[in-house]
Amino acid sequence: MAIDIRKYLLDILESIESIENYLGDKRDYNIYMSDKMLRRAVEREFEIIGEAMNRIERIDPHIEISSKKQIISMRNRVIHGYDKIDNEIVWGTIIRHLPILKKEVSILIKK
């Protein structure tokens, strides 16, 4: 694996772990919604995840990550559509998709 790809995968993993740390064990949507700083921190981590994925895609479009295009698309929405962010979609992504992404990235890093 190219050293750049490995670095970007580690960046993605670090951002996922940061989101997990920000939210704690409770993962409470109401707490998330009531804390603007928390929401902005999570959005920033999604920007990092999406940008790293975009760079990986440019280097190796055949890398096996199931939701690459959606991740890049979410990054674009967070950055360019900051005034139209749907917090329910962000929350759903955290709950349903980040665990899968974390597993896939961890496997790729170990290769």
The alpha carbons of the chain give a radius of gyration, in whole angstroms, of 14
Is 75 part of the annotated catalytic residue set?
Answer: yes
Following DSSP, what letter does each residue of 70-85 receive, concatenated?
HHHHHHHHHHHTGGG-
Catalytic option among 58, 62, 80, 96? 80
Catalytic option among 75, 77, 96, 97? 75
Our measurement of the distance from residue 97's CA atom to the centroid of its chain's CA atoms, rounded to an integer in Å, reads 9
Is 77 part of the annotated catalytic residue set?
Answer: no
CB-CB neighbours of 23 under 10 Å: 20
Q: Would you please indicate which residues are annotated as catalytic (active-site) residues?
A: 75, 80
